[in-house]
Amino acid sequence: MGKALDGVKILDFTHVQSGPTCTQLLAWFGADVIKVEREGVGDITRGQLRDVPDADSLYFTMLNHNKRSITIDAKHPKGKEVLEKLVRECDVLVENFAPGALDRMGFTWERIQELNPKMIVASIKGFGPGPYQDCKVYENVAQCAGGAASTTGFDDGPPLVTGAQIGDSGTGLHLALGIVTALYQRKTTGRGQKVNAAMQDGVLNLCRVKLRDQQRLDRTHVLEEYPQYPNGHFGEAVPRAGNASGGGQPGWILKCKGWETDPNAYIYFITQAPVWKQICNVIGREEWLTDPRYATPKARLPHLTEIFDEIEKWTMTKSKFEAMEILNKYDIPCGPILSMKEIAEEPSLRKTGTVVEVDHPTRGKYLTVGNPIKLSDSPTEVKRSPLLGEHTDEIMKELGYTDAQIRELHEAKVI
């Protein structure tokens, strides 16, 4: 079966996590992704956090599936010639260098347009135009500057970053959508365009509901679904809401049987209004149904802590999976706190290709997260990441270089 992006050629100048996430997605949808790496060095993540000596790290392998690797010294005149050929051949150039690095290499937007007016140039930077536009940025900087850290954690603790890589992988996902949109628009305009995704913007987009709450707080000086209500203090900015659900359906993380020794024996419990009756019945608090302090969602808001304490008395008598089974029967929305170990071993995730085992020539078998987006006509087959420069000769031949020229460029360490 063909793939959705068959025929699309990507010149992949990305490194570390944000850009590689984007191009990996495009590769999974069938694009030919040619990853350009520095001769002899490669993407810095190949050697970072290694668990197998001399083998590409999981950091690298898990972000660079289904790509081809070519090594080129982009600052050598002969290397630039190779790159110019690639610019002419490809549909999209994706990069996440520090601000200005691509220009310093000589590949300005104007130069790329001269070489290939149809080329789409997609970039991730830490910040958009403004006071921080020249800054180098990593994941947690973006989480802090995008509003995630100030709104994550507990009221009495410091700002917290989250384990979800919303700055890197989140922005990569945003950029991928920008690229396919630009490819679609090119069908009618015949022209390429610039696609920019700033990590601060990507994080803020994912924190949209907190900007919603900021404006509600400005107007009403209170956020009734936050744990600070009714006894705590609201300042000028949206506070950290602990494990509150952040929506119109109050929720919290509750202990389950075994919590004393298992750090993940917890369940997320949502007191959705339509199933309030079922919740009261399950935990044996039928009197709440008629008590005016608990009868309506609005009346319950000042009592949420007490309500969750009562529900927790029930969840503590069940394992998280037993609680799930009982609550699901009544359509009560809840979710077990799953450890990475449990996720890695979950058979249903293996079955859907969300968790995939891949074999690699130097590191052996490892698990990775497959494509989370499933297209019925373009199924994803996860192929191992390339070794450094594995496809250099193959790609050079496709560009029309002879064996003798390729040998010469190898000897000069240009490729």
In the complex with ligand CAO, which residue's Cβ is closer, 41 or 375? Answer: 41
Is residue 73 part of the contact set for ligand CAO (CB under 6 A)? yes
Cβ at position 353, least distance to ligand CAO in Å: 25
CA angle 107, 113, 118 (to 5 degrees): 125
Size of the site for ligand CAO (CB under 6 A): 24
Angstrom distance (rounded) from CA 197 to CA 179: 10
Is residue 168 part of the contact set for ligand CAO (CB under 6 A)? yes
Only segment of 10-18, 246-254, 377-385, 407-415 that touches ligand CAO (CB under 6 A): 10-18
Is residue 124 part of the contact set for ligand CAO (CB under 6 A)? yes
- Which residue of the set 32, 43, 91, 168 is catalytic? 168
Is residue 75 part of the contact set for ligand CAO (CB under 6 A)? yes
Among 36, 149, 161, 395, binds ligand CAO (CB under 6 A): 36
Cβ at position 79, least distance to ligand CAO in Å: 7
Is residue 34 part of the contact set for ligand CAO (CB under 6 A)? no
Window 188-207: residues binding ligand CAO (CB under 6 A): none
Active site residue 168: yes
Among 136, 212, 221, 329, binds ligand CAO (CB under 6 A): 136
Only segment of 111-119, 130-138, 266-274, 322-330 that touches ligand CAO (CB under 6 A): 130-138
Cβ at position 298, least distance to ligand CAO in Å: 43
Among 31, 93, 112, 137, binds ligand CAO (CB under 6 A): 137
CB distance 28 to 65 below 8 Å: yes
Among 4, 105, 283, 399, binds ligand CAO (CB under 6 A): 105
Is residue 388 part of the contact set for ligand CAO (CB under 6 A)? no
Is residue 126 part of the contact set for ligand CAO (CB under 6 A)? yes
Is residue 43 part of the contact set for ligand CAO (CB under 6 A)? no
Only segment of 119-127, 143-151, 359-367, 391-399 that touches ligand CAO (CB under 6 A): 119-127
Is residue 132 part of the contact set for ligand CAO (CB under 6 A)? no
In the complex with ligand CAO, which residue's Cβ is closer, 349 or 388? Answer: 388
Neighbours of 376 (CB within 10 A): 5
Contact residues toward ligand CAO (CB under 6 A) are: 16-19, 36, 38, 72-75, 96-98, 101, 104-105, 124-126, 136-139, 168
Residues annotated as catalytic are 168
